[in-house]
Amino acid sequence: MARSKKRGKERSLFATFLATSFILGALLGTVLASTWIQGAPVLQLSPGETYTRSITIVGIDKNTGQGGLAVLTVELRTGSGYLAIAVPPYENEDTQKAAVDARNAVELAVNRNLSQVDIIISIENIGPETTITGPSSSAAMAVLMIATIRASENMSPNMVRQDAVVSASIDSTGRLKPVGGVAEKYQTVRIAGGYSLFVVARTQFGYLPDYPDISIERASNLEKLASIVLV
């Protein structure tokens, strides 16, 4: 009995050690990334210079549980590092954090300091009861930021496939993560027609059936997502 208790205590201590190590590693990674970005080349635009890119995203009606399409737009312009989020509900803290994570991931991906540009994120054609909150659209935000930055530097590819829909979240290091309600979102995109590509995180759970008119791509990080969606 004493030996069993000792083993249990050892397992508990080991689990605590692993959890603590993971948290400390994540925090250290965030600090190092922040320090590294401060020394990255600063992206600068001329006064009045703007770049805009859009993509279709999909949300869930909070009353019916059915999906609804909307248009996500990112505008890049000269500024002072301001990040504006015109995504209802505007007070949603998860959405605000997701947008910040997307911008941080983009800074790492393009090796640019974005402290001298403003980024404006907006959603159009969204129904009054459709919610696209939290991180569910953050991967789409990030890939649009990539496209606008490339356009500002005359780099290709910087155009966005308009037959593609992205449904994934992203963390500040650029890793794509799964989202909820993806099966309903997938069916919404397929039934709407006009879309031939549905992109999710590689780790997305749930069964998504194959259809001849639409393909499913899985991306593990922002670099892979950009290679799929940008042309």
What is the per-residue burial (b if ≥16 Cβ within 10 Å, else e) of 35-69?
A: eebeeeeebebeeeebbebbbbbbbbbeeeeebbb
pLDDT of residue 31 exceeding 80: no
Please, what is the average pLDDT of the chain? 85
In 39-134, where does DSSP find H-type helix? 93-110
Closest C-alpha to 119, from 134, 133, 138: 138
Label the pairing between strands 164-166 and 197-201: parallel
Amino acid identity of residue 121, one-letter, is: I
Q: What is the pLDDT of residue 86?
A: 82
Q: Which of 23-27, 146-150, 154-158, 211-215 has the lowest mean pLDDT?
A: 23-27
What's at 93, amino acid-wise? Answer: E
- pLDDT band with cut points at 50, 70 and 90 for residue 27: very low
pTM for the model = 0.82
Amino acid identity of residue 99, one-letter, is A
Nearest to 198 by CA among 177, 175, 180, 214: 214
Confidence of residue 2 (pLDDT cuts 50, 70, 90): low
d(CA 175, CA 170): 6
DSSP 50: E
pLDDT given at position 68: 87
Model confidence at 18, in pLDDT bands (50, 70, 90)? very low
Q: Is pLDDT above 80 for 10?
A: no
pLDDT bracket for residue 3 (50, 70, 90): low
Residue 211 has pLDDT above 70, yes or no: yes
CA dihedral for 138, 140, 146, 147, sign (positive or negative): negative
Q: What is the number of other CB atoms lying within 10 angstroms of the CB of residue 229?
A: 25
The angle at the Cα of 213, spanning 134 to 62, to the nearest 5 degrees, equals 30
How does pLDDT run across 55-82, given as a tens digit for each residue? 999 988 777 778 889 999 999 999 999 9
* pLDDT of the residue at 5: 55
Encoded tokens for 205: 């759970």
Each residue's pLDDT tens digit, 114-161: 999 999 999 886 655 566 666 889 999 999 999 999 999 999 999 999
Q: What fold, for 50-229?
A: Ribosomal Protein S5; domain 2 (3.30.230)
Residue 69, SS3 per DSSP: strand
Predicted pLDDT of residue 29:
47
Which region holds residue 132: left if phi is over 0, alpha if psi is between -120 and 50, else beta? beta
